[in-house]
Amino acid sequence: MQITDEAIKQLAAGLAIGLGALGPGIGIGLLAMGAMQAIGRNPDAAPQIQTNMILGIAFAEAIAIYALVVALLLKFV
């Protein structure tokens, strides 16, 4: 079996999106867990906590989008 440049590019693209989505996935889970705990302790602050949670999720998701862009570049360029 011969390892070609195309095979290495495919492997790199898979690793880029796989590892690049792992961190934001864990981060979003921890962020949601913390927000739910905070709302459970102080339900009156739920709107402010929810706003900050959504903002944090958006920033974490941006990192995953960067990983997707890198994976697509590796695959098609």
pLDDT of 18? 94
- Please name which of 56, 63, 59 lies closest in space to residue 32, comparing C-alpha atoms: 56
Question: 2 pLDDT exceeds 90?
Answer: no
Dihedral Cα 25, 28, 34, 38, nearest 10 deg: -150
Domains in the chain, start-ordered, CATH in brackets?
5-76 (1.20.20.10)
Non-local CB neighbours of 18 within 8 Å, separated by 6+ positions: none
pLDDT of 15? 95
Task: Measure Cα distances from 25 to 17, 40, 43 in Å.
Answer: 12, 23, 26
Question: pLDDT per residue over 19-77, tens digit each?
Answer: 999 999 999 999 999 999 999 999 999 999 999 999 999 999 999 999 999 999 999 98
pLDDT of 27? 94
